[in-house]
Amino acid sequence: MIILMLKWIFVSLLAFGWCSVGSASMKERKDNTMVEKAINTLSNSRDSNQLYAAAVSLLKSPDPVDQANLLKFLSKEEFLSRLDSPKDYERGAKYLRIARLIKEMCSSPIPGIRQLLVELMHQREFIANETRVELLIWASVLLRPAPPEVVKFWDAHSRPDDCFAALVIKALADNGSQPAIDLLERKLASSDFENEERIWWMRTAILTHRRDVPILKACRRLLEKELPPSLQLELVAVLFDYQPDQWHGPDGMYPPPPETQASEEAKQLIQIIGEYALAKVKLDERLKKIVHTKVEELKR
């Protein structure tokens, strides 16, 4: 019921926005029949390619009513299973029409389209499928600053023993907005997750953003207050060292950013974290030397 009400409010807001543009916009809507035809296709067709084309035509419409109509279809498993068959899902996300639609939403210049992504995150039938959840997680990187509904979605899909946590954590770091970093920090500090899991997040999500100021600030707080000693050591390693063979295996999927990208503020934070690590964290000799060298370099 609550979902229905939210949906009604959303549609009303969209409709209000549309009305406020004035009747001129309405007149500019060149082809009503095209939209009707698209909706008719979405309602009845069993041809996946036709369905995809019709959905794209609605996506390209600047009319919020068309977007709301599309959302109605995307919220139903009945439609989604006509758009992509179980066999399509078996082939993988890359080959799904829904993946292409979400990509269209991500790249659309039309205001309000990205809000569709946020709406989909709370459509029960849409997120009943793991692949579609993954598509939303990947797309959520672009939703900056992350609204509360997105944070809620991330939180719900990064629980111990689910299969999305690592994707979400990487998306949080890639998103980089403060709400995302706050959640990342909470997850890293949570002892609900095994150490091995959290070490992996550090070696992927943190490593690939280890010169971003918000990430460094979160790392400083984690280091000083919330992490057990074994994880402190790993966090320092991730911030100062790079061991791809050991951390990621041969495929090198998670390279650190170039040091030249670090801002002055980031450099200051690195220096502070380094000095703290040398003073308070039990580092092995090799890592101690690496951290010391970096701190000395930054002092110069």
Partner 1 sequence: MSSGSSREVIPIPADERIKVIFKRLEVRHDGDWIGSGEWYFRAWVDGQPVGNPRARGGEQSPIDVRDRDQIELDQSVWCAEVNVYSKTEVQVVFEALDKDVISDDNMGSFRYTLRKNAAWQQREFRHRLENYTLIWEVQLSVGGVFVRHPDTAVFATRRNIVGRTDTGEVTYSTVSGVIGTCRLEICPVWPVPPDQSLPTRPPPVGVTPVRNGAAKEVRPDSDINIIPNPAVIPLLSDPTPVTGPPPALPPGAPPGATAQTAARIEVTYYYPDTLNFTDDDPRLEWEADPPDRIGFLGNNRGLKVLVYGKTEGDVLLTVRFQGAVSAQYRAVVATIKQIPFRANILNHLGSSPRTRPEDVPNHIAIANRFLRQVGLELVPDANVQRTDGAIETGHAAVYRINNVPINRTRNVHGSHPISSRLNHRPNVLNIQYIHSIQKNSPQLLIFGWATDRPAHPDHPSVSDNLIPTPSWMAPTVAMGGGGCGVSPDPNPGGPIRINLLEASNRPGFPNLAAILITNDNGDPTNQQGQLRYGNCIAHELGHVLGLRHRVGAGPDGSIGHPPQQNIMCQGEPPMVRQDFDRIQARAMRRSPLVPP
Supply the DSSP string of 243-289, one letter for each residue. -HHHHT-TT---PPPPGGG--HHHHHHHHHHHHHHHHHS---HHHHH
Stretch that binds partner 1, among 57-65, 74-82, 183-191, 238-246 (CB under 8 A): 238-246
Residue from 53, 65, 93, 127 binding partner 1 (CB under 8 A): 93
Residue with tokens 């110069």: 300
User: d(Cα 138, Cα 175) in Å, to the nearest integer?
Assistant: 10
Q: How far is the CB of 247 from partner 1 (least distance, A)?
A: 5
Which residues touch 78 (CB under 8 Å, ≥6 apart)?
A: none
Stretch that binds partner 1, among 2-10, 50-58, 119-127, 193-201 (CB under 8 A): 193-201
Closest CA to 198 of 155, 224, 232, 225: 232
Which residues touch 26 (CB under 8 Å, ≥6 apart)?
A: none
104-143 footprint of partner 1 as x/- string (CB under 8 A): --------------------------x---xx--x-----
Report if residue 145 touches partner 1, rule: CB under 8 A. Answer: no
Report if residue 182 touches partner 1, rule: CB under 8 A. Answer: no
Closest CA to 170 of 220, 195, 134, 196: 134
Q: Which two tokens stand for residue 168?
A: 């979400």
- Asked if residue 18 lies in contact with residue 63, where contact means CB atoms within 8 angstroms, the answer is yes
Q: How far is the CB of 253 from partner 1 (least distance, A)?
A: 7
Report if residue 285 touches partner 1, rule: CB under 8 A. Answer: no
Stretch that binds partner 1, among 112-120, 145-153, 194-202, 216-224 (CB under 8 A): 194-202
For partner 1, the binding residues in 151-180 under the rule CB under 8 A are 161-167, 170, 174
CA distances from 85 to 91, 104, 122 (A): 10, 20, 22
Residue from 80, 96, 222, 231 binding partner 1 (CB under 8 A): 96
Q: Which of 165/295 has CB closer to partner 1?
A: 165
Q: Which two tokens stand for residue 240?
A: 């100062």
Q: Which of 196/285 has CB closer to partner 1?
A: 196
Q: Which of 61/204 has CB closer to partner 1?
A: 204
Site of interaction with partner 1 (CB under 8 A): 90-94, 96, 99, 103, 130, 134-135, 138, 161-167, 170, 174, 196-197, 199-200, 203-204, 244-253, 255
